[in-house]
């Protein structure tokens, strides 16, 4: 397609961009008309105002702290998740033994275990990273593992007759086949990462957007609280888009798998 | 060279960590003042202040030796001991309940018995449930007909949007002030006037093991905060600005509210003729008795072991 | 080169009757042997057995005179019925696959191999498509790439499962011409599954007819046409006679 | 395969079942040896004891309440999620306009919005159902939508020449093609549902395992708290297994999609 | 029945040259017409155009004498090159597909249709496989099921894209016999893509040769063999002559 880039963009996100001001205006009017008290949902304008007022703290300190936790936790969960998925794929008993634990780990509300995290990791960044890791881990393992299982028997047979070893098949067939599924997992996971970091910051600490939002909430500075949530959301979306762009870059040069 | 000198002089300071009951606010002025004015370092202490996720976490972490000191509540200390969590109170910080039953000022409810048939929101702690029941019964009502709703962290939204008729768990120096600022004037009913024993809202807690291992350090800490509290009492404005200065680096506090809060707090923290932090056996016994009658505690607690005056 | 002795195979133990029963076959080096049989008679299964993808229930498979009991994989070149090009690799990269898995020191330098592949692509009429992805090719082109990839393995024994099945008449003819011209220089041994009788006669030294019922036993037919052959010899009276003979053998069983 | 069922079972879960007592024993000994204080992580035996002691309350009241919330929220999110996914699939502008909001909805920590839920739904079951819905919704929409997109162009063309209408293609090609992906979504989602319900109960209420666990945590009854978390986890696993069984039943009679 | 007038098509506007250029064709009711051409010459594309899956750039397609500008879909029976059986449906259910989409009152009762399908499965040698899933069948069997499914549509004009391409020689011969026997009762019009010249001559009334370069124009060849034909007439001198003629036309272009 030789369509100019901006036209493609308008076509893709025009509707979304149209919907945004519409939503904002109705939100603003709902609040200014007093239908919803502003200490429960502040008006968009006051959120933006609060963002500017505290921009120094929010952007200069808390955003960076959260970003750090998210990045560390995400990277660790990608590494750990892929390793576990590959392990489960290559050695079936690992799957049989660990899959149930994986599911169990997801059914336990993490906050309930907060003393354990603090006992193990103290009030360092690692207690937050651990929580990010645990939230982000599951989608990566599951989707990578599912992707690896897709490896096609016919292709495998062909490669075997060429003298390919287990590792060759893994490299040439299974990894490329698993990539799309792996990226679906990454996309889910990066979104959960941000929430994970927020929850982690509630466990204790002195910085991060989650910490700030909770502080502001306990003082009923709802607008500042929403400002930090807005930033959290923007952070999540930017990270998501980053993953999408990487995915497009990696997968665009290959023919469809069908 | 100079770098090494400074590190070696820092090494002489003994590290001590304290976990707050909640985010830093006017209550903690004495800590920040003691730190800022060097009372801790005068005592040879390097104090590290932490914040908890859950108020209960701090007791457990003190008991587990992960931190040295925690700010907690008197009944909570007794209940922890009831669960064989080896902690001991070493000082009473706030000597009277801050936690009042609050109803909207314009509501028909003027005393606890009017709450029969109404909804009362409380913040997750069963103790508050017992307090509401005691207050209603003491006021001549039947507590069975009160619907208690755990509203989690959201005491203020719950009452401000009229989802409940009263809240238990709000502090007169925080929630009440914020609600008033939002235009929701609250009538606060002091539990001590309705049959709940006068208890210490905030106590300083150390672990039994800690008291054994480093009693001198803890005594020095108590000495330092006494100095701090004295300064706060004499110069409340300066003390507040120390707190604000500290907090502005992460999450600015609401200056109006904290100023008013400190005004409310100072008399309640004052031990009169006794030194700041002094604990009376009678208070511990009353609270223990009341907790037992409300089935929140087994009758196995030796109150003498629950606290110590340092 | 290859000898099978009383080969028997069934996909599952519980299966009533085996797919292949008591099949014996002898292939000499340099021979071109076609295998013909109705659909489902087990031709592809036979190839998988020879390639080592399946283990026979009982029998001995000898390749190069050696008995191969355990791992035969990587000993013969196998071209499956479907083209099985990796969709995320270009034509060139697909053809490079056998080289990648070859761990022998003789595998040569990548550059040489690529140059060789490019030469062969040109010959196959795919010169322009070197950097295309498989989904940009027509069915026939894909099959040609798959065939090329099989040749690249450099094995002596080629198992071709209907390599020209999807080609159009003209391209097929051209492939015949090309294969016949090349044949004497190739020094390959080929087992060739086809459904095209003329193709079988034209290319083969011998033809095996697999029975439709596994217990009926294979038939063997010698194609005593002189080599080198020419791709337009199919109107030769001898050729036509061979073909009629072959058809008779096939159809007398099918239509009584 | 004529393998007896129990043998299959042993083969599948033998490792897991072996690992379980091993873990439990080491956990028990770590606690009884005093390496970890029992008020931070209680011993398995005391958790089970607490479970029996409070079994009447836990099983008779709180488990049922949580199950109710999870079921309602899950069903609603399946219905809503599938409808949205189908809508996005059939009408592209819906996708373009709503997909970003979907992602945004996941980056916002739900607890931060608790006052809004309480304002809208009060302290009824619906505030919890709403939170369950929001946690479970995203995986279902994403995976169903991805599954629907898989619909193969060649099949579609063939069916079109047979005179199939849009709906026919949807019914005969796209739904069967989407089913495996849809079930992946369900499996993720049901696991998140349980955590969602727990978080929902923390926002306020008078029953449910989340409510109970928090209450016990306030009372320092760590063993009872872990007992309710154990139940939550068991609930999540049973629901997960239920979905897996339904999936097997539905998909077993079809040939592989490859 | 079907007429194309100066049909031109290219997949993308920016594409240098169209795939099909200035193609005209006339098909009468009841005719059997084969289409031969090298791979990539646009045979499948032509079928998609006729079926209505693609819109020609400029041209008029008349079916049943009516000009079909907009929606031609569902007017002709189309059998694509790949079998495209739905893997989650049994053979029988796959064959039921056309009936499911048929909304005309004449589509008949399900029971009758199933009985009809079962009869035809028997005839195709697939009687036992009625309740099998496609992945349990061999390649040839799948193709037969796909062909059967095309017949079930009940359309007058059948577009068959290499229906017998994947069949073995015997099955193919049997299909020829069966098709020729049935032909006079079928009253169908068939457009038939094949790479098998004998098959084209045996079955067709006319053969179109698509050029390998789109601008060279189609060639047409009449097969003046008498009907009814017999499936073993391929040694008939007239037949052989026709075949030689056809080969000449094809190869003179390819190999100068
Ligand atoms: N993996 C398998 N498991 C069980 N049965 C199989 C398997 N693969 C093939 N079969 C069966 O084995 C028989 C022989 O299959 P095979 O593919 O070898 O036939 P073929 O001669 O190659 O047929 P065609 O000419 O159609 O390719 C068929 O009946 C088929 O159903
Ligand atoms: N969807 C498509 N988009 C772009 N180009 C296409 C598309 N489909 C086919 N082509 C191109 O159009 C040309 C004709 O393709 P078509 O499939 O019609 O050939 P064919 O004559 O059927 O070949 P074969 O005998 O191999 O089936 C080929 O060069 C092919 O690369
Ligand atoms: Mg085969
Ligand atoms: Mg084609």
Domain hosting E89: range is: 84-154
pLDDT for the residue numbered E123? 78
Task: Specify the range with the lowest mean pLDDT, choosing from A254-258, B296-300, E22-26.
Answer: A254-258
Residues of A in contact with D36 (CB under 8 A): 119
Helices assigned H by DSSP within chain B:
2-11, 29-36, 39-42, 55-63, 74-82, 126-138, 155-160, 175-181, 208-213, 215-234, 236-248, 255-269, 281-293
Whether residues D15 and D114 fall in one domain: no
Q: Is the CB of C140 under 6 A from ligand 2?
A: yes
Give the separation between CA B84 and CA B62, rounded to whole angstroms.
13
pLDDT at residue E122 tops 80: yes
Q: Is A90 exposed, middle or buried (0-12, 13-18, 19+ CB in 10 A)?
A: middle
C3 forms beta bridges with C26, C62
Give the separation between CA C211 and CA C38, rounded to whole angstroms.
8
pLDDT for the residue numbered A255? 52
pLDDT for the residue numbered E177? 80
Q: Give percent above pLDDT 90 in chain B.
A: 56
Last residue of a domain, one of C101, C122, C154: C154
Whether residues C69 and C170 fall in one domain: yes
pLDDT for the residue numbered A76? 95
pLDDT for the residue numbered D84? 93
Give chain D's domain count: 2
Give the separation between CA C69 and CA D111, rounded to whole angstroms.
65
> Can you read off the two tokens belonging to residue B12?
């002489």
pLDDT at residue A239 tops 90: yes
Whether residues C55 and C167 fall in one domain: yes
Q: Inter-chain contact A118–B161, Cβ cutoff 8 Å?
A: no
Single out the residue of C71, C62, C68, C52 nearest to residue C9, CA to CA: C52
User: What's the average model confidence in pLDDT over E36-48?
Assistant: 84
CB B59 within 8 A of CB B87: yes
Nearest CA to ligand 2 atom 16: E42
Task: Specify the range with the lowest mean pLDDT, choosing from A182-191, A236-245, E236-245.
Answer: E236-245
Distance from CA of C182 to the nearest CA of A (A): 23
First to last CA, chain B: 40
Q: Is B203 helix (H, G, I), strand (E, B) or coil?
A: strand
Pick from D158, D161, D255: which is nearest to E87 by CB? D255
Whether residues D124 and D140 fall in one domain: yes
DSSP-assigned letter for residue E143:
H
Q: Is B96 helix (H, G, I), strand (E, B) or coil?
A: coil
User: What's the average model confidence in pLDDT over D109-115?
Assistant: 80
Domain hosting D133: range is: 43-256
Pick from B50, B161, B250: which is nearest to A204 by CB? B50
Cis peptide before E228, with omega less than 30 degrees from 0?
A: yes
Whether residues A56 and A168 fall in one domain: yes
pLDDT for the residue numbered E13? 64
Last residue of a domain, one of E154, E181, E205: E154
DSSP-assigned letter for residue D220:
T
> Can you read off the two tokens belonging to residue B94?
């706030």
* Phi, psi of A40, deg, nearest 5: -100, -55
CA distances from A118 to A214, B57, B80, B294 (A): 18, 9, 19, 32
Whether residues E61 and E163 fall in one domain: yes
What CATH number is attached to the domain comprising E217? 3.40.50.300
B147 forms beta bridges with B119
pLDDT for the residue numbered B261? 93
CA distances from B155 to A218, B150, B184, B219 (A): 10, 9, 13, 37
> What would the pLDDT profile of B48-81 be if each residue is shown by its tens digit?
888 877 777 888 889 988 889 999 999 999 999 9
Whether residues E183 and E225 fall in one domain: yes
Residue B72: half-sphere exposure toward Cβ, Cα within 13 Å: 33
* pLDDT band of D180, cuts 50, 70, 90: confident
CB C208 within 8 A of CB C189: no
Whether residues C201 and C132 fall in one domain: no
Task: Specify the range with the lowest mean pLDDT, choosing from A44-58, A158-172, D90-104, E51-65.
Answer: E51-65
Average pLDDT, chain B: 88
User: What's the average model confidence in pLDDT over B270-274?
Assistant: 87
Best mutation target among E20, E39, E40 (most C Cβ atoms within 10 Å) is: E39
Q: Give percent above pLDDT 90 in chain A.
A: 26
Whether residues D247 and D175 fall in one domain: yes
CA distances from A242 to A60, A64, A256 (A): 21, 17, 22
CB B201 within 8 A of CB B287: no
Single out the residue of E55, E50, E41, E144 nearest to residue E91, CA to CA: E144
Single out the residue of C137, D160, D149 nearest to residue E55, CA to CA: D160
User: What's the average model confidence in pLDDT over E78-90?
Assistant: 85
Q: Is the CB of C88 under 6 A from ligand 1?
A: no
> What would the pLDDT profile of A118-128 be if each residue is shown by its tens digit?
888 877 888 89
* pLDDT band of E252, cuts 50, 70, 90: low
Whether residues D21 and D55 fall in one domain: no
CB D47 within 8 A of CB D54: no
pLDDT at residue B193 tops 90: yes
Nearest CA to ligand 1 atom 18: C42
pLDDT at residue D256 tops 60: no
Nearest CA to ligand 2 atom 2: E11
Whether residues A97 and A3 fall in one domain: no
Q: Give percent above pLDDT 70 in chain B.
A: 96
Whether residues A212 and A196 fall in one domain: yes
pLDDT for the residue numbered B156? 87
Last residue of a domain, one of C154, C171, C198: C154
* Burial letters E114-137, b for 16+ CB under 10 A, else e: beebeebbeebbbeebbebbbeeb
Give ipTM to 2 decimals.
0.81
Give the total residue count for chain B: 310
User: What's the average model confidence in pLDDT over D207-227?
Assistant: 88
Distance from CA of D184 to the nearest CA of E (A): 18
Q: Give percent above pLDDT 90 in chain E.
A: 3
Whether residues D149 and D22 fall in one domain: no
DSSP-assigned letter for residue D163:
T
Q: Inter-chain contact D258–A142, Cβ cutoff 8 Å?
A: no
Whether residues C89 and C18 fall in one domain: no
Helices assigned H by DSSP within chain E:
43-51, 91-101, 110-123, 139-152, 169-186, 197-203, 237-254
Average pLDDT, chain D: 86
CA distances from D237 to A28, A100, B228, D194 (A): 43, 8, 53, 10
Q: Residue D69 belongs to what H/E stretch?
A: helix D63-90
Average pLDDT, chain A: 85
Give me the residue label for tokens 């299964």.
Answer: C45
Whether residues D82 and D16 fall in one domain: no
Whether residues E45 and E169 fall in one domain: yes
Nearest CA to ligand 1 atom 6: C11
DSSP-assigned letter for residue E194:
-
Whether residues E49 and E172 fall in one domain: yes
Q: Is the CB of E11 under 6 A from ligand 2?
A: yes
Q: Is the CB of E88 under 6 A from ligand 2?
A: no
Whether residues A28 and A62 fall in one domain: no
Give the separation between CA E240 and CA E199, rounded to whole angstroms.
12
Whether residues C10 and C119 fall in one domain: no
Whether residues A120 and A195 fall in one domain: yes
Whether residues E91 and E46 fall in one domain: no
- State which residues of chain C have pLDDT below 70: 13-16, 59, 64-71, 139-140, 166, 234, 252-256
Pick the more confident residue, E183 or B211: B211
> What would the pLDDT profile of D41-85 be if each residue is shown by its tens digit?
899 999 999 999 988 888 888 999 999 999 999 999 999 999 999
User: What's the average model confidence in pLDDT over E24-44?
Assistant: 85
Instruction: Please name the residues in contact with D80: beta carbons below 8 A apart, sequence gap of 6 or more.
Output: D133, D137
Q: Is A172 helix (H, G, I), strand (E, B) or coil?
A: helix
CB B26 within 8 A of CB B173: yes
* Burial letters B123-136, b for 16+ CB under 10 A, else e: bbbbbbbbbbbbbb
pLDDT at residue B3 tops 60: no
Pick the more confident residue, A255 or B291: B291
Give chain E's domain count: 2
pLDDT for the residue numbered C256? 37
pLDDT for the residue numbered E246? 85
Residues of A in contact with C133 (CB under 8 A): 254-255
pLDDT at residue B262 tops 90: yes
Pick from A162, A164, A257: which is nearest to C87 by CB? A257
Residues of D in contact with E153 (CB under 8 A): 162
User: What's the average model confidence in pLDDT over B117-136?
Assistant: 89
> What would the pLDDT profile of A79-113 be if each residue is shown by its tens digit?
999 999 999 988 888 888 888 888 888 888 887 77
pLDDT at residue A1 tops 50: no
pLDDT at residue B269 tops 70: yes
pLDDT at residue A151 tops 90: no
> Regarding beta strands E157-161 and E189-193, do their DSSP bridges make them parallel or antiparallel, or are they unpaired?
parallel
Distance from CA of E244 to the nearest CA of D (A): 36
What CATH number is attached to the domain comprising A58? 1.10.3720.10
User: What's the average model confidence in pLDDT over E216-241?
Assistant: 80
pLDDT at residue A170 tops 70: yes
pLDDT for the residue numbered B167? 93
Single out the residue of A229, A227, A235, A215 nearest to residue A49, CA to CA: A227
Whether residues C228 and C163 fall in one domain: yes
> Regarding beta strands C58-63 and C2-9, do their DSSP bridges make them parallel or antiparallel, or are they unpaired?
antiparallel
pLDDT at residue E167 tops 80: no
pLDDT at residue D179 tops 60: yes
Whether residues C192 and C246 fall in one domain: yes
> Can you read off the two tokens belonging to residue A159?
């490669």
Q: Give percent above pLDDT 70 in chain D.
A: 95
Whether residues D92 and D195 fall in one domain: yes
Q: Residue D28 belongs to what H/E stretch?
A: helix D5-32
């Amino acid at each position: 397609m030789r369509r100019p880039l901006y036209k493609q963009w308008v076509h893709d996100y025009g509707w979304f961009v149209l919907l945004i001001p519409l939503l904002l205006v109705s939100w603003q009017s709902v609040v200014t008309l007093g239908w919803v008290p502003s200490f429960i949902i502040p008006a968009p304008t006051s959120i933006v105002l609060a963002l500017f007022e505290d921009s120094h703290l929010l952007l200069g300190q808390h955003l960076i702290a959260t970003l750090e936790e998210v990045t560390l936790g995400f990277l660790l969960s990608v590494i750990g998740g892929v390793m576990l998925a590959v392990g489960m794929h290559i050695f079936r008993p690992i799957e049989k033994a660990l899959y149930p634990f994986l599911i169990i780990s997801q059914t336990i509300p993490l906050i309930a275990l907060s003393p354990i995290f603090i006992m193990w990791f103290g009030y360092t960044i690692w207690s937050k990273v651990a929580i990010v890791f645990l939230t982000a881990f599951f989608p990566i393992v599951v989707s990578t593992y599912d992707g690896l299982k897709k490896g096609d028997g016919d292709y495998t047979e062909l490669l075997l007759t060429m003298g390919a070893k287990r590792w060759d098949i893994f490299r040439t067939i299974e990894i490329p086949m698993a990539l799309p599924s792996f990226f679906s997992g990454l996309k889910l996971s990066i979104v959960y990462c941000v929430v994970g970091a927020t929850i982690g910051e509630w466990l204790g600490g002195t910085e991060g957007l989650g910490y700030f939002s909770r502080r502001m909430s306990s003082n009923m500075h709802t607008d500042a609280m929403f400002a930090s949530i807005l930033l959290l959301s923007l952070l999540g979306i930017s990270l998501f888009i980053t993953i999408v762009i990487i995915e497009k870059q990696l997968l665009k040069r290959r023919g469809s798998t069908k | 060279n100079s770098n090494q000198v400074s590190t070696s002089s820092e090494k002489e300071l003994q590290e001590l960590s304290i976990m707050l009951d909640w985010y830093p606010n006017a209550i903690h002025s004495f800590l920040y003042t003691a730190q800022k004015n060097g009372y801790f370092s005068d005592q040879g202490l390097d104090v590290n202040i932490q914040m908890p996720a859950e108020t209960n976490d701090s007791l457990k972490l003190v008991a587990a030796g992960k931190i040295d000191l925690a700010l907690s509540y008197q009944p909570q200390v007794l209940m922890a001991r009831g669960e064989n969590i080896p902690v001991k109170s070493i000082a009473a910080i706030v000597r009277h309940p801050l936690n009042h039953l609050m109803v909207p000022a314009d509501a028909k409810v003027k005393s606890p018995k009017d709450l029969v048939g109404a909804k009362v929101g409380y913040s997750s702690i069963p103790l508050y449930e017992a307090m509401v029941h005691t207050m209603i019964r003491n006021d001549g009502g039947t507590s069975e007909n009160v619907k208690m709703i755990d509203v989690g962290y959201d005491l203020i939204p719950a009452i401000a949007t009229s989802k409940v008729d009263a809240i238990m768990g709000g502090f007169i120096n925080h929630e009440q002030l914020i609600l008033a600022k939002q235009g929701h004037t609250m009538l606060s009913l002091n539990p001590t006037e309705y049959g709940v024993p006068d208890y210490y809202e905030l106590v300083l807690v150390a672990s039994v093991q800690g008291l054994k291992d480093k009693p001198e350090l803890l005594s020095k800490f108590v000495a330092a905060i006494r100095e701090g509290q004295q300064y706060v009492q004499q110069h409340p404005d300066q003390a507040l600005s120390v707190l604000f200065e500290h907090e502005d680096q992460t999450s600015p506090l609401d200056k109006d509210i904290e100023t008013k809060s400190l005004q409310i707090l100072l008399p309640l923290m004052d031990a009169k003729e006794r030194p700041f932090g002094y604990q009376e056996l009678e208070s511990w016994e009353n609270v223990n008795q009341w907790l037992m009658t409300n089935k929140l505690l087994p009758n196995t607690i030796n109150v003498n072991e629950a606290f110590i005056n340092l | 080169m290859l000898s099978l002795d009383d080969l028997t195979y069934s996909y599952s133990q519980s299966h009533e009757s085996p797919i292949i029963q008591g099949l014996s076959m002898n292939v000499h080096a340099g021979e071109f042997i076609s295998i013909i049989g109705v659909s489902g008679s087990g031709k592809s299964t036979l190839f998988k057995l020879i390639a080592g993808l399946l283990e026979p229930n009982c029998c001995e498979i000898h390749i190069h005179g050696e008995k191969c009991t355990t791992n035969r994989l990587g000993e013969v070149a196998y071209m499956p019925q479907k083209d099985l090009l990796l969709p995320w690799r270009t034509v060139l990269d697909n053809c490079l696959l056998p080289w990648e898995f070859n761990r022998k020191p003789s595998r040569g330098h990548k550059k040489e191999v690529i140059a060789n592949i490019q030469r062969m692509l040109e010959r196959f009429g795919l010169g322009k498509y070197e950097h295309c992805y498989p989904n940009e090719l027509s069915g026939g082109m894909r099959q040609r790439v798959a065939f090329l990839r099989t040749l690249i393995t450099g094995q002596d024994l080629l198992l071709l499962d209907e390599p020209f099945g999807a080609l159009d008449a003209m391209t097929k003819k051209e492939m015949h011409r090309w294969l016949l011209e090349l044949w004497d220089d190739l020094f390959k041994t080929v087992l060739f599954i086809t459904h095209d009788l003329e193709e079988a006669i034209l290319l083969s030294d011998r033809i095996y007819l697999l029975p439709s019922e596994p217990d009926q036993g294979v038939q063997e037919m010698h194609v005593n046409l002189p080599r080198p052959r020419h791709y337009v010899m199919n109107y030769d009276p001898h050729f036509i006679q061979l073909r009629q003979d072959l058809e008779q053998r096939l159809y007398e069983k099918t239509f009584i």
